[in-house]
Structure 1
Amino acid sequence: MHYAPINASDLIPITGAYRHRLAPPQVAGYEGVGTVVQAPSTFQHLLGKRVLPLRGMGCWQRYVDVKAHLAVSVPDDITMTLAARAYINPLAALLMLKKWPVAGKHVLITAGGSACAMLLAQWAQLQGARRVVVAHRSPAHAARLHAMGLDAVLESATDAIQALSAQSDVVFDAVGGDVGQRIWQTLPEQAHFVAYGVLSGKPVQVNAGRPLLHWFHVRHTLGDINTVEWQQLFAEVWPLLRRSDCGEVEIFPLSGWRAAIETYHQSGRARKPLLCLDA
């Protein structure tokens, strides 16, 4: 292994929130990038190649044992630090936009400082959304969002959020809590509210059949996807990443994992914490 990022999905099981399906001791980390040093005979072509070791835990360590058919080859022009971040957030954004297309629609996205929200916003534009508005918690994110040609609004601007919600066709929400609840309650009946995270710790509560609320999880959506379909998803992801602003990173040695996690939780953070796993 060379690098592994810190994501919300990595930290949730550490807190014990996934205790119903985790049996410690386990190594954390759902994504990263490494070089193949050993492979079965039918996958010898991967020796010495960079791959993403995915669909399991344990990426925060020097060596990871992965099922060979699930290893995703990294194109030569993709940097190591970008490859390390090419699974959790990019695949979530891609799958959500496949399931809830936004061409010609008004789109509202929360958690505007997060990597997934940034990709969702950019790719919604590419898909032909009529308007994309990103709600963010920290004013520090506004300049970057505007530079991407996106409309930005503070999550604390209650009146503005409600006015935007009333005009939205699709919402992608990773916050929940009061912000998510206010948006859902103000949406037109025909709108779709896609909840893919609960950063507030409080899920949105619904008391009516419409507007529709959908829960999205990458793991559930992938289900029993076959090898060809799995590899094809990344054939779609790489070109999108090449033309996107994927943000900067801040690299920490594995021994500095505590500082990396503290950095992850900083409001207004501009760089994604990455663990360097090389000796």
Structure 2
Amino acid sequence: MNKVAIWYRHFGVPEQTLELETAPVESLTPGLMRIRMQLSPVNASDLIPVTGAYGHRIIPPLVAGYEGVGEVITAPETWSHLVGKRVLPLRGQGTWQSLVDCPPEYAIPVPDWICSDLAARAFINPAAALMMLRLYSPEGKRVLLTAAGSDCSLLLGQWALRFGAVSVTGIHRSAAHATRLAACGITSVSQEDAGAIERSASESDLVFDATGGKLATSILQHLPETSTFVCYGLLSGIPFRQHHSRPFVRWFHIRNYLNSMDIRQWHALFSEIWPLLNTSSYSGAVRYPVASWKEAIGFYRESGRSGKPLLIMN
């Protein structure tokens, strides 16, 4: 029996570095659970490590991918009730492969009322959005988002309103996102409208930024001193500059918080995510066979896309 996996054996541009490989299935390490993967999404968090941006803490060769959904085919006796059930095999091996072995205590069972297209994307963006809103409460505040067309930002905006935000404004690159943002109760502002961005920043109490660069620098220059600016990404690839000690700048890296979670807290996180995610607007899924992984990445990079590419692993 063979399995397929998308590997990177050195750092580089993902489209040029990743390789789809076929190899015999290894014996299952005692104590681990084996999952036959169904769907794995393409996220920025999957592609950035391939470039070497995190070369100080990860070393190839590695299988790409950090989330996805699959069916349990083998499990230790304590978890045998999950055989045949869908789970998220997280915090183990890379998920861009047809079989994943993971520690069973970290596998997240998927409720029957969650479809697989949604379950496959229930970790990176939903967990980051929820954890940030718990750390930096939006209640009674005017919230400003960058990269507002992204899945994480879209959830941040919707959930900030549910958690008591006075208003949410989203800065987007493509006009294609404006209608979807409005449907979620989020006021949209074009990234090209410098005046509107400055006005929005001057009226904001809490910023969640995923872009960095000139946009973040401009927002910081116009924010009230009492505001909080949370940086959780650097999609522009350019650092921002803060010219004054205020407003407060905070950094959010999901891995720093996951490492401090015990098993109970880990599962409780998803108990909160499932009902929120199931009642929120989220990008539609666009499926690609695993052999078409380059096309999936190409679609992911398209400006203004409204769908999320999912790799069909079986």
Task: Please give the range of the TM-score, normalised by the shorter of the 2 chains.
Answer: over 0.9
In the other structure, the counterpart of 1:169 is: 205
Residue identity opposite 2:143 in structure 1: V
Matched, 1:19 2:55: yes
> Cα offset for 1:55?
1.6
Alignment length, in residue pairs? 278
Contact 2:93 2:100 in 1 (8 A): no
**CA deviation string 1:153-210 (max 9, x = no partner):** 0011101000110110000000111111100111001100000000000122223321
In the other structure, the counterpart of 1:97 is: 133
Whole-Å separation in 2 of the counterparts to 1:207 and 1:94: 30
Alignment RMSD, CA only?
A: 0.9
Whole-Å separation in 2 of the counterparts to 1:244 and 1:113: 14
Work out which of the residue numbers 114, 131, 136 in structure 1 matches 2:172: 136
In the other structure, the counterpart of 2:46 is: 10
> Cα offset for 1:224?
2.4
> Cα offset for 1:258?
0.4
Whole-Å separation in 2 of the counterparts to 1:224 and 1:237: 19
Residue identity opposite 1:262 in structure 2: G
Contact 2:173 2:190 in 1 (8 A): yes
Whole-Å separation in 2 of the counterparts to 1:117 and 1:230: 22
In the other structure, the counterpart of 1:215 is: 251
SS at match of 2:170: strand
List runs of 5+ in structure 2 lacking aligned partners.
Answer: 1-36
Higher strand share: 2
Whole-Å separation in 1 of the counterparts to 2:248 and 2:240: 12
SS at match of 2:165: coil
> In the TM superposition, what are the counterparts of 1:18-167 in structure 2 within 5 Å?
18-167=54-203
Matched, 1:180 2:216: yes
In the other structure, the counterpart of 2:264 is: 228
Contact 2:92 2:103 in 1 (8 A): no
Deviates further, 66-75 or 198-207: 198-207
List runs of 5+ in structure 1 lacking aligned partners.
Answer: none
Deviates further, 75-84 or 146-155: 146-155
Whole-Å separation in 1 of the counterparts to 2:141 and 2:53: 35
Whole-Å separation in 2 of the counterparts to 1:66 and 1:184: 42
Whole-Å separation in 2 of the counterparts to 1:188 and 1:102: 16
Whole-Å separation in 2 of the counterparts to 1:192 and 1:277: 41
User: Highest relative contact order (Cα 8 Å, sep 6+), 1 or 2?
Assistant: 1
> Cα offset for 1:57?
4.2
In the other structure, the counterpart of 1:254 is: 290
> Cα offset for 1:112?
1.2
Residue identity opposite 1:261 in structure 2: I
Structure 1 length normalisation: TM-score?
0.98
**CA deviation string 1:53-87 (max 9, x = no partner):** 11244100000010000000000010001000000
Deviates further, 191-200 or 39-48: 39-48
In the other structure, the counterpart of 1:263 is: 299
Matched, 1:242 2:278: yes
SS at match of 1:275: strand
Contact 2:89 2:100 in 1 (8 A): yes
Residue identity opposite 2:267 in structure 1: Q
**CA deviation string 1:84-109 (max 9, x = no partner):** 00000000000000000011100000
Q: Which of the two has higher C-alpha Rg?
A: 2
Contact 2:168 2:185 in 1 (8 A): no
